[in-house]
Amino acid sequence: MTVYVDDMQAKYRRMVMCHMLADTDEELHAMASAIDVARKWHQKPGTPHSHYDICMSKKAKAIKLGAKQIGRKEVAELVNKKRLVSLAIFQLFQCEMSRVIERNESYFFGIDYATRPDITTVSVFKGVGPDITFDQIQTDKVNSALAVAKKSPQARIQFPEHLAPIPIAAECPICGKPLLLNAGEGCEQDANGEWIATEIELLCTSEPEFNSPDWDDWYRWHYSMPYVDWLPLEQRVLRAVRKKYFFRVD
């Protein structure tokens, strides 16, 4: 169990305050109640920034009970670690999300952030504004997907075909503009029977309309030496796509 207090000294009314954070919200609330800090002081719930603002006397109490003193840099590291976990979870449920978006319903995910990828649960809420309700069915679905992913951290996720072409981190080797990825046209089954890509298509976002007078020049500029400019990148992205995504072949 690790709870942290930082070295901030912010004045609030007649008190000097610092932040109290933890690896998990569970640990954070447990410590808050142990040092008699009310739940209303909990800030940024459900985000990687989840913390309490506590005064110096409470800080001393927390340290006595085992809280670790950290500096600003370590706070940033802790928040970043949690953000990475939430990103991974977001990617995991991208497919589910895309279906949700398509049905034109609004869902959002409440996540209990954790620095250890083995202890995260997700709650799904549905609706907008004051009409938000907890959605048990989606929550069960998402948590069982999470349980599967926890057992095999390398598990592939379904390629979000509804969203394709999807943006990727790589840039166009010719003009440096962002690239989009299409995949799933060619597939093969791996040893476990999962369909994985044998080819991908990278699209440069600078491509003009096909009918436009600029298209011929753009094409000559971008594809004069495809084996030199594009093939190495395509092979790298294909390897990543084969690791990350599976495809549904009907």
What tokens were used for 169? 């981190």
Among 174, 187, 233, 240, binds Zn ion (CB under 5 A): 174
Nearest approach, Cβ of residue 239 and Zn ion (Å):
21
Q: Does 98 bind Zn ion (CB under 5 A)?
A: no
Chosen residue from 204, 237, 238, 241 binding Zn ion by CB under 5 A:
204
How far is it, in rounded angstroms, from Cα 166 to Cα 168? 6
- Residue 172 binds to Zn ion (criterion: CB under 5 A): yes
Nearer to Zn ion by Cβ, of 175 and 231: the residue is: 175
Beta bridge partners of 203: 180
Q: Which is nearer to Zn ion, 56 or 175 (CB)?
A: 175
CB of 206 to Zn ion, least distance (A): 4
Which tokens in the block code for residue 127?
């609706």
Residues in the chain: 250
Q: Which stretch, 1-9, 145-153, 204-212, 242-250, contacts Zn ion (CB under 5 A)?
A: 204-212
The CA distance from 102 to 100, in Å, is: 5
Could you give the C-alpha distances from 188 to 29, 180, 197, 211, 246, in angstroms and in order?
Answer: 49, 22, 6, 35, 10
Structure tokens at 71: 């500096």
Could you say whether residue 179 binds Zn ion (CB under 5 A)? no
- The closest alpha carbon to 123, from 147, 101, 107, 104, belongs to 107
Residue 172 sits at φ, ψ, to 5 deg, of -60, 130
Residue 175 interacts with Zn ion (CB under 5 A): yes or no:
yes
Q: For residues 155 and 233, which CB has a smaller minimum distance to Zn ion in the complex? A: 233
Structure tokens at 53: 């603002």
- Is residue 95 within the footprint of Zn ion (CB under 5 A)? no
Map residues 33-72 to x or -, x wherever contact with Zn ion holds by CB under 5 A: ----------------------------------------
Interface with Zn ion (CB under 5 A), residue total 6
Contact 3, 31 (CB under 8 A): yes
Does the protein bind Zn ion through residue 180 (CB under 5 A)?
A: no
- Least Å distance, CB 171 to Zn ion, is 8
The residue ranges that bind Zn ion (CB under 5 A) are 172, 174-175, 177, 204, 206
